[in-house]
Amino acid sequence: MSEKATITLDGQTYEFPIVEGTEGEKAIDISSLRAETGYITLDFGYKNTGATTSSITFLDGEAGILHYRGYPIEQLAEQASFLEVAYLLLNGELPNAKQLQEFEGNIRYHSLVHEDMKRFFEFYPSNAHPMGILAAMVNSFSTFYPKSQDPNRSIKDVERTIFRLIAKMPTLAAISYKNNLGHPYMYPNNRLGYVENFIHMMFGLPTEDYEVDPVVADALNKLLILHADHEQNCSASTVRIVGSSQANLYSSISAGIAALWGPLHGGANQEVIEMLEAIRNDGSDLEKWVNKAKDKNDPFRLFGFGHRVYKNFDPRARIIKKSCDDILKKMGINDPVLDIAKQLEEIALRDDYFIERKLYPNVDFYSGIIYRAIGIPTRMFTVMFALGRLPGWIAQWKEMVENKEPIGRPRQIYTGATKRDYVPVKDRK
């Protein structure tokens, strides 16, 4: 692309190359800006700043498009299995039958968690939030597998670390749930599929046989796929920047889990259900809550609404909203908060405040209703988001390592005190 951007600073004109992606997105490559001009750019929250080039996920926020390696999310959510999508994100292509069978076998082989790790759970407070446990336990994997420390180790070592993470996270999540209940842990049953195995570890009991409901398994498979990656979101960027220091993959993923926990990010799915229940308990005066969300003096936000990229609709929210109706009907559940969510969406989408700011339901607005219907407790909702996002985080880390990207180290504009001399405490007022 021969196009250039010209910037005139202090009377001098500089040219910078334009970079264009395969979907027509354009960027000004300012890699040499400071060296040539002495200036840096400033962009709080990186709203206008690209941190990298990537071939994993494409989003078009205006058109509500989401593709994983070129495949539309609508097709993958309807037709693929979660491990197929994990393979696609990690390797760039959908697996053939042999590759998928091998990948599934590698994941099954690593589904057990080291017996010593189970003792960790005994020391968490019984009301410990499962996201705090998950972030700590995933980071602890690096102490059990010291060979994983060097991300530039042999491809085999990195691959084994990737299999271990994808295989063990569901087991860890299920153990933290059982620990919360004071129930005995369930071991993985490797005769089951990946999603079915997780459901069985969550809801099965050693005292009886447990049949996984295919409706629940299908709903969870779809939700995990819808959460699998989302290009340079807050938690993926966290995984990349921690990984850019050549910290090991377990620690990079643990940092991603911590970032996802925030209520403005993945923690929003828990906030949405708690918000809907608060609205219901308050007598469902929806106008009152919508006005609270609009009131600058009120810290309340309409959780599950708004998005940094999507400015018309979040395609995942559309798929999940439709699935809500299907799944609740199939399971014979009538959840009053679903009606409140739909009415809230209707009121907000007619309101100038939300229209002007292009605020629409995002992936977190309806997902909690399905998690709840299949029996996942509210405090586990963000853990479910992490289970879905894991292959995306790993794919982003892998791409950053394979592209030998430099350590992430943003600049700043200093606005503090200028140089001044030290005054001994005896002379201070």
305 binds ligand SDX (CB under 6 A): yes
Residue 48: helix, strand or coil by DSSP?
A: coil
Binder among 173, 247, 268, 395 for ligand SDX (CB under 6 A): 268
**Binding-site member from 160, 230, 240, 321 for ligand SDX (CB under 6 A):** 230
Shortest spacing between CB 355 and ligand SDX, in angstroms: 11
Beta carbon of residue 76, minimum distance to ligand SDX (angstroms, whole number): 15
Q: Say whether residue 292 binds ligand SDX (CB under 6 A).
A: no
- How many other C-beta atoms lie within 10 A of the C-beta of residue 231? 17
357 binds ligand SDX (CB under 6 A): yes
Tokens coding 406 = 């430099």
Stretch that binds ligand SDX, among 64-72, 116-124, 139-147, 262-270 (CB under 6 A): 262-270
Per 3-state DSSP, the chain is made up of helix, strand and coil in percentages (nearest 5) of 55, 5, 40
The answer to whether the CB of 249 falls within 8 A of the CB of 262 is no
The radius of gyration of the chain from alpha carbons, rounded to an integer in Å, stands at 24
Q: Say which amino acid occupies 392.
A: G
Q: In whole angstroms, how close is the CB of 404 to ligand SDX at the nearest point?
A: 25
3-state class of 201 per DSSP? helix
Burial of 393 (0-12, 13-18, 19+ CB in 10 A): buried
DSSP, collapsed to helix, strand or coil, labels residue 339 as helix
Q: Is 151 in the site for ligand SDX (CB under 6 A)?
A: no
* Cβ proximity to ligand SDX, 163 vs 289, nearer residue: 289
User: Judged by CB under 6 A, does residue 233 bind ligand SDX?
Assistant: yes
Nearest to 162 by CA among 413, 394, 399, 423: 394
116 is annotated as an active-site residue: no
Considering only residues 82, 303, 360, 381, which one is a binding residue for ligand SDX as defined by CB under 6 A? Answer: 303
User: Quick one: which segment of 164-172, 275-283, 301-309, 327-335 binds ligand SDX (CB under 6 A)?
Assistant: 301-309
Which are the contacts of 48, defined by CB distance < 8 A and separation ≥ 6?
A: none
Min. distance of Cβ 72 from ligand SDX in angstroms? 16
CA distances (Å), origin 279, targets 57, 156, 289, 413: 36, 51, 7, 43
- State how beta strands 12-20 and 4-9 pair: antiparallel
Q: Is 99 helix (H, G, I), strand (E, B) or coil?
A: helix
> 67, 110, 227, 307: which one is catalytic?
307
Bridge pairing between strands 65-68 and 57-60 = antiparallel
Query: Catalytic site residue 364?
Result: yes
Q: Does 84 bind ligand SDX (CB under 6 A)?
A: no
What's the min distance (Å) between Cβ of 234 and ligand SDX?
Answer: 6
Region binding ligand SDX by CB under 6 A among candidate stretches 129-137, 166-174, 259-267, 274-282? 259-267
**Does residue 256 belong to the site contacting ligand SDX (CB under 6 A)?**
no
Site for ligand SDX in 45-74 (CB under 6 A): 45
Question: In the complex with ligand SDX, which residue's Cβ is closer, 174 or 394?
Answer: 394
- Which residue among 129, 227, 229, 364 is the active-site one? 364
Which listed residue (130, 151, 243, 306) binds ligand SDX by CB under 6 A?
306
CB-based burial, 141-179: b 16+ in 10 Å, e otherwise: bbeebeebbebeeeeebbebbbbbbbbbbbbbbbbbbbb
What are the two backbone dihedrals, phi and then psi, of residue 377, each rounded to the nearest 5 degrees? -70, 150
Question: By CB under 6 A, is residue 131 in contact with ligand SDX?
Answer: no
Binding mask 384-413 for ligand SDX (x = CB under 6 A): ------------------------------
Nearer to ligand SDX, 195 or 359 (CB): 359
List the one residue from 359, 380, 394, 401 that touches ligand SDX (CB under 6 A): 359
Compute, in degrees rounded to 10, the torsion defined by CA atoms 65, 71, 72, 75: -170
Task: Name the site residues for ligand SDX (rule: CB under 6 A).
Answer: 45, 230, 233, 264-266, 268, 293, 301-309, 357, 359, 362-364
The set of catalytic residues is: 307, 364
